[in-house]
Amino acid sequence: MDRYAMDPGTAVLLHDLGVPAANVLRRAGLPGDLLARGPVTLPAAEYFAFWQALDDEAGGPAVAVRIGRALTAEVFLPALFAALCSPCLRVAAQRVATYKGLIGPMRLLVGDDTVTYRFPPGHRPPPALVLTELVFWTVLARIGTRHDVRPVRVDSPWTPPDQGPFREFLGVPVSFGPVPSVTFTAYDMDRSFLTANDAMWRFFEPELRRRLAALDRHASTAERVRAALLHLLPAGQGTMSVVARSLSVSTRTLQRRLRDEDTSFQAVLTATRTRLARHYLATGELSADQISFLLGYGDPKSFYRAFRTWTGVTPTHARAVHIRSSS
């Protein structure tokens, strides 16, 4: 089971927010001394439970803005510090995307001027976590450039009921979108960071690479392909060649390793799409057209045909069955 590192600055951050750590841990069903134990890692379910408890204890998703205001270069959060070593926001996003899997059950896709999040199916990330992740990029850009950088668009499947704090802090409201994402102008993505420090990044990177390699060693090839597809499908890049390149292997090697595990790329792709489709239909929040986009289909009709081939029923029927069984 994958485990994710809690940021060592979490206890300090909760203190600065005026949120009792003991209350958050109790709500989450976690040990009361968890944050005092040194390095802490949690499985995905407990990681999300912690963030849901923080959401509840702090009074709702607006805590994301409070966290954004509390983050400064003086607060030692390794992820923030390492990102600030980058020459600009674009490079910082690419670096964070590479290593994000070490510190949270999520993946990032950096495309053009947008950072997009993907969370594992079967888990509903708490709104406070999603919105904090999106706010983080504005904070990072402002600290790095010392300019009042503002995104041009922020999307989330869970929009805050009170947009005031977000509009004031970000300069834009949080709009509804099928996946969490934040978009900046190209100028702001490439604006130089005054905090850039290549020597410090070279100090951080070997340890990050070591930890990432250790994480990969424990995963089967099929699991690694599945994780890559979660990252690539929404961009319409779920092909074998693109997945192989993301895993730093040739397509022939990828085929051989999957064959050694008694599976194939097409089998993993179909299983991943089926699982994701069922998950999205069960949430009831996304239209079939939006789901087809998230699964990498350019045409919703192709998704309808594929889903019927996989399951024997249409997406509409599958959603109706789920609604009836849940009522």
Residue 3 has pLDDT above 80, yes or no: no
205 is a domain residue: no
Answer yes or no: are the C-beta atoms of 13 and 67 closer than 8 Å.
yes
Residue 214 located in a structural domain: no
Give a yes or no: residue 139 inside a domain: yes
Question: Quick one: 227 and 152 in the same domain?
Answer: no
Q: Are residues 143 and 273 in the same domain?
A: no
Tell whether 209 is covered by a domain.
no
Range of the domain at 247: 221-326
Q: Tell me how many domains the chain contains.
A: 2
What's the CA gap between 68 and 132, in Å, rounded? 7
Report yes or no on whether pTM surpasses 0.85. Answer: no
pLDDT of residue 237: 80
One domain for residues 247 and 194: no
Going by their DSSP bridges, the two strands 181-183 and 153-156 should be labelled as antiparallel
Residue 191 lies inside a defined structural domain of this protein: yes
Closest C-alpha among 126, 309, 76, 107 to residue 212: 107
Q: Same domain for 190 and 254?
A: no
Mean pLDDT of the region 38-60 = 88
Domain boundary among 141, 166, 198: 198
> What are the pLDDT digits (tens) for 154-211?
999 989 999 999 999 999 999 999 889 999 999 999 999 998 888 767 766 665 665 5
Torsion of CA 296, 298, 175, 124, to 10 degrees: -30
Per-residue pLDDT tens over the stretch 79-130: 677 788 889 999 999 888 877 766 788 888 888 899 999 888 777 899 999 9
DSSP letter at 192 equals B
Scanning the structure block, which residue is given the tokens 């509409």? 316
For helices 127-145 and 63-70, what crossing angle results, to 10°?
30
**What contacts 183, CB < 8 A, 6 or more positions away?**
113, 114, 115, 151, 152, 153, 154
Residue 111, domain CATH: 3.90.1520
Residue 305 has pLDDT above 70, yes or no: yes
Answer yes or no: do 134 and 244 share one domain: no
Q: Is residue 180 domain-resident? A: yes
27 shares a domain with 145: yes
Co-location of 175 and 241 in the same domain: no
The answer to the question of residue 203 being in a domain is no
Domain annotation covers residue 321: yes
Do 190 and 232 reside in the same domain of the chain?
no
- Say which CATH number the domain at 245 has: 1.10.10.60
What are φ and ψ of residue 171, in 5° steps? 90, -5
Same domain flag for 141 and 22:
yes
Q: For 173, list phi and psi in degrees, rounded to 5.
A: -75, 165
> pLDDT tens for residues 6-20?
776 788 788 888 999
Same domain, 130 and 242: no
**Whether residues 140 and 171 fall in one domain:** yes
Q: What proportion of the chain, given as a percentage, has pLDDT over 90? A: 37
Of 198, 232, 252, which residue sits at a domain end? 198
Phi, psi of 205 (to 5 degrees): -60, -45
Residues 67 and 151 in one domain: yes
Domain boundary among 165, 198, 231: 198
